[in-house]
């Protein structure tokens, strides 16, 4: 019997998005979650891929328990599908699910950006560092890393709002959006995400609520256009 078939996943692991754990600096340096997620976002692991816990252990040089936790977390985030006595599978982002996620993100992120501007946050330098990492990833054609860093930017921005429940809710939406972006057929080289993120941070730094809301709305509309073909 395949060793994976008898694997019992720890359902007691709290569904705290690892993105959020990293942004709180709680994720250990050897946590394989970012590498596994980037492999999915780079389409090195796809819905058609046949892989097991053991093959991921070998691929990422991680322990069995680390891979088990990573797969469990990705299943909480609906990026990976886990079923008893079956291999794990990468989920496919369905259009209707993506539409609902984007609608929820718009409602959540507009409120969060307003709160962030009111907080006069001191963590903007960390946001600019994330933007620079994203810029370098794009320049090196590291698409998976760029998508993951873009998600981290939104969660770090949400953290600055000072509303933990809203930030946590956004953390449940970002990984599925990232998966949709990775699987999107309308890939484009004219990605303005880095520039948009920069202008959003500039608006927050000025405490310009109207500009920040307008820029976030436009950013999310561009995302809808890319993923769903909706008119902005």
- Residue-wise pLDDT tens digits, 26-67: 456 689 999 999 999 999 999 999 999 999 999 999 999 999
**Rounded Cα gap, residues 103 and 99, in angstroms:** 6
Contact in structure between 21 and 27 (CB atoms under 8 Å)? yes
Class of domain 95-228: mainly alpha
* R_g (Cα) of the chain, nearest Å: 18
Task: List the structure tokens of 6.
Answer: 């008898």
What is the reported pLDDT for 188?
A: 54
| 11 DSSP 8-state letter | T
Share the mean pLDDT of the chain.
Answer: 86
Tell me which of 16 and 161 has the higher pLDDT.
Answer: 161
**Rounded Cα gap, residues 181 and 183, in angstroms:** 5
Q: What's the pLDDT band for 82 if we cut at 50, 70, 90? A: very high
Domain boundaries, the chain: 18-90, 95-228
Average pLDDT for 8-17: 38
Average pLDDT for 97-103: 95
| 108 DSSP 8-state letter | H
Listed residue (76, 65, 59) closest to 21, CA to CA? 76
Task: List the structure tokens of 44.
Answer: 């090195």
What is the reported pLDDT for 29?
A: 67
Average pLDDT for 132-151: 94
Q: What is the pLDDT of residues 184-212, one digit of tens each?
A: 865 555 578 999 999 999 999 999 999 99
What is the reported pLDDT for 20?
A: 43
Contact in structure between 75 and 10 (CB atoms under 8 Å)? no
**Rounded Cα gap, residues 208 and 213, in angstroms:** 9
| 13 DSSP 8-state letter | S
- Rank 151-155, 191-195, 228-232 by mean pLDDT and report only the highest: 151-155
What is the reported pLDDT for 185?
A: 64
Q: Which CATH number fits domain 18-90: 2.40.160.10, 3.90.1300.10, 3.90.950.10, 1.10.10.10?
A: 1.10.10.10
Task: List the structure tokens of 207.
Answer: 């405490």
Same topology between domain 18-90 and domain 95-228? no
What is the reported pLDDT for 21?
A: 46
Query: What is the sign of the dihedral through the CA atoms of 180, 103, 204 and 164?
Result: negative
Q: Judge whether residue 25 has pLDDT over 50.
A: no
Q: What is the pLDDT of residues 208-228, one digit of tens each?
A: 999 999 999 999 999 999 998
Average pLDDT for 133-141: 93
Q: Judge whether residue 24 has pLDDT over 50.
A: no
Q: Judge whether residue 10 has pLDDT over 60.
A: no
Q: What's the pLDDT band for 112 if we cut at 50, 70, 90? A: very high
């Amino acid at each position: 019997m395949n060793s994976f078939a008898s694997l019992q996943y720890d359902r007691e692991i709290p569904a705290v998005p690892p993105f959020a754990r990293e942004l709180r600096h709680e994720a250990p340096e050897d946590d394989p979650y970012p590498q596994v997620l980037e492999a999915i976002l780079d389409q090195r692991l796809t819905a058609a891929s046949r892989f097991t816990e053991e093959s991921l252990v070998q691929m990422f040089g991680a322990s069995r328990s680390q891979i088990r936790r990573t797969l469990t977390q990705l299943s909480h985030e609906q990026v990976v599908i886990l079923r008893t006595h079956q291999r794990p599978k990468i989920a496919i982002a369905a259009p209707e699910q993506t539409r609902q996620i984007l609608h929820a993100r718009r409602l959540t992120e507009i409120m969060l950006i307003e709160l962030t501007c009111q907080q006069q946050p001191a963590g903007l330098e960390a946001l600019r560092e994330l933007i620079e990492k994203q810029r370098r990833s794009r320049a090196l054609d590291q698409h998976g890393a760029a998508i993951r860093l873009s998600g981290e930017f939104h969660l770090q921005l949400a953290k600055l709002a000072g509303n933990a429940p809203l930030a946590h809710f956004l953390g449940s939406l970002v990984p599925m959006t990232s998966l949709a972006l990775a699987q999107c057929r309308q890939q484009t080289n004219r990605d303005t995400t880095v520039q948009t993120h920069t202008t959003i941070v500039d608006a927050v730094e000025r405490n310009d609520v109207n500009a920040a809301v307008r820029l976030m709305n436009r950013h999310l509309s561009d995302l809808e256009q890319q993923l769903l073909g909706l008119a902005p």
